[in-house]
A and B are shown apart, each in its own frame.
Chain A
Amino acid sequence: IAGITQAPTSQILAAGRRMTLRCTQDMRHNAMYWYRQDLGLGLRLIHYSNTAGTTGKGEVPDGYSVSRANTDDFPLTLASAVPSQTSVYFCATRAGTNTDTQYFGPGTRLTVL
């Protein structure tokens, strides 16, 4: 059982390019989240999805979009990357609203030049 996989592990990207970070889970959890981790700022929520077919904005959604076509996948897209989007991105899941524990993927380190 892999849990949560994220791809790629790391990426260097030219500014202005489009990039999709992939997140796949095999735990059949309803809720999924995308966070970015920046030094001194901790983890900040970008977008989330309570269940397949629904998405919502977090604290820092600008410049990012997500989709949730099915339970397992929750891709994060940067339509036109900018250097301020250089960060480590974590995908997380949660089983349901009656549980509070989030499970995190290993992260994607993205550098935008």
Chain B
Amino acid sequence: DQQVKQNSPSLSVQEGRISILNCDYTNSMFDYFLWYKKYPAEGPTFLISISSIKDKNEDGRFTVFLNKSAKHLSLHIVPSQPGDSAVYFCAASVRTFNKFYFGSGTKLNVKP
């Protein structure tokens, strides 16, 4: 059973608007969460992360929100750009265990 879930396989957003990608997890031991971006025929690249001691982390147009009680995190992209079109994976880890669990990914399409 997947411990990290992304229930939306795809999302389409107009350029300039906000993109919100969601992720849920089941393991309360997870203490670090990451988002990766993947273009076709390339490996995933790190985007942004958040520790369980925080509820928000911001980096430019990207903000990750963590709701520990709901075991839910989200990635906000504002404003969305066509170059943001990619598959986004969320991942979670228990830092001391050195293992990462990934969601199934959400394909974001930002329309010009």
Q: Give A contacts to B, CB under 8 Å.
A: 4, 31, 33, 35, 40-45, 48, 50, 58-59, 90, 92, 94, 97, 100-107
Contact = CB atoms under 8 A, between A and B. Distances in A.
A100 to B, nearest CB: 5
A101 B49 contact: yes
A101 B46 contact: yes
Interface string B1-24: 010101001000000000000000
A42 B104 contact: yes
Q: How large is the interface on B (under 10, 10 to 19, 20 to 34, 35 or more residues)?
A: 20 to 34
A100 B32 contact: yes
Contacts of A100: 32, 34, 49, 93, 95
A45 B98 contact: no
B44 A104 contact: yes
24 contacts: A4-B43, A35-B102, A42-B6, A42-B102, A43-B91, A43-B102, A45-B101, A58-B99, A92-B43, A97-B95, A97-B98, A100-B49, A100-B93, A101-B46, A102-B36, A102-B46, A102-B100, A103-B46, A104-B43, A105-B43, A106-B43, A107-B41, A107-B42, A107-B43
Interface of B: 2, 4, 6, 9, 32, 34, 36, 41-46, 49, 89, 91, 93, 95-96, 98-105
A90 B43 contact: yes
Nearest to A6: B43
A40 B9 CA distance: 8
B99 A101 contact: no
A45 B99 contact: yes
Nearest to A94: B98
